[in-house]
Amino acid sequence: MAVRVLCSRQALRLCSVLASPSTSSSSSSSLGLQQSNRGLRVGFLGAPFNKGQRRAGVSEGPQAVKDTGIITTLHDLGVDVRDYGDVELDNNNNNHNNNHSKQLTDDVSDSLYLGPNGERHFQTVLTYNQRLSSKVGEVLKDGRLCVTVGGDHSIAIGTIHGHAHSNPEHQVVVLWVDAHADLNTGTSSPSGNMHGMPAAFHITNLSSRHAKLQDGFPQASLATTHLAYIGLRDVDKGERAFLDQLGIVNYGMREVDRLGVREVVARCLDHLSPSNTRPLHVSFDIDALDPLEAPSTGTPVRGGLTMREGLVVVEEARAGGHMGALDLVEVNPHLGTPTDAAYTAHAAKEIIMGALVGGDSQ
């Protein structure tokens, strides 16, 4: 495994040197890709939010991914892409360098922000996600596929809510690609970190277990049959109980190894049955990939998806033609070496590109 990934890193460096096409054949191929991607309209959102967990740096994930040149690359491939900028909470509360953010590592100070069931930064997380939900809805109403780059995975509270409530049927189906189920409630969570809870906020069967804002946000919209997982390998006891009791489809790495990733994705998509009236939302945590593929992330778990397996997941999701939104979360450029951070940001770029235009077009 280590040898294979080392080779892929060397190949990445080599590809960066050879990236500029110099032959008529490559120019012709580029023109063909531009033509095939015409009509694809994408809205790019940054969600530089870190209050769902306690590691500094994840709020810099959106900029790290943008710095890979992904928006320019999409333009060059003929995609109509608009950068909607970053969704901020406010000038003081969402700055990763301010004193409030430093309290993320201070348990005594952090206790001041607990929700009714011990959720850390409860009010801040939900207030931010309410704003994010509105922005996602704006992108979708513009007729664009919404790509949101986090930030921690608590932002999926807002992205999925915005996607569902922009649909007249208030329905989406969700493919959750992650090492973790993110299905805790405040009472089941060992940590109280809300990046481990977003999926549960959307499940109607679990809605009563969550406190909400005074106006009722977020409103749950997912039946248990509207969610499927790929890549699980670190699931809390309470989450496992919910998965089993509610019959939520989930494929861990053992099933990926046994069945093959393409078969796993096919089974998930067959179960979810996305359509024009129930579009697909893909929520991809970079820690679904093995740490050798994406080292700069807050909760890495060994034994994850290879880059190629991750690309197969999003390419197959794209191939169905009903994807309306994509999240890419938990890139943390503060973790690991600068090389690790750059490598992880490029891994995120590859996953996004695979979801939008296919992995062979990079």
Active-site residue numbers? 153, 178, 180, 182, 195, 285, 287, 330
Strand partners, 325: 146, 281
Please list, residue by residue across 259-295, b when 16 or more beta carbons sit within 10 angstroms of its beta carbon and e when fewer do: eebeebbebbbeebebeeebbbbbbbbbbbbbbbbbb
- For residues 180 and 235, what is the distance between their CA atoms, to the nearest angstrom? 6
Q: Which residue shows structure tokens 């901020």?
A: 88
Strands lying side by side in the sheet with 249-252: 80-86, 41-47, 145-150, 323-329, 280-285, 173-177, 227-232, 249-252
DSSP labels, 249-276: EEEEHHHHHHH-HHHHHHHHHHHH---S
**Residue 180 counted as an annotated binding residue:** yes
- For residues 217 and 20, what is the distance between their CA atoms, to the nearest angstrom? 48
- For residues 309 and 289, what is the distance between their CA atoms, to the nearest angstrom? 8
**Residue 285 counted as an annotated binding residue:** yes
**Residue 75 counted as an annotated binding residue:** no
Longest dimension (CA), the chain: 63
DSSP labels, 70-121: HHHHHHHTT-EEEEEEE--S-TTTT-TTSHHHHGGG-HHHHGGG--TTS-TT
Strand partners, 15: none
**Residue 153 counted as an annotated binding residue:** yes
DSSP labels, 183-251: ---TTT-SS--GGG-HHHHHBGGGGGGS---TT-PSPP-B-GGGEEEEEE----HHHHHHHHHHT-EEE
CA nearest neighbour of 311 among 252, 273, 261 = 261
Burial of 334 per CB tally in 10 Å (0-12, 13-18, 19+): middle
Q: Which residues are documented as binding site?
A: 153, 178, 180, 182, 285, 287
Bind-site residues for Mn(2+): 153, 178, 180, 182, 285, 287
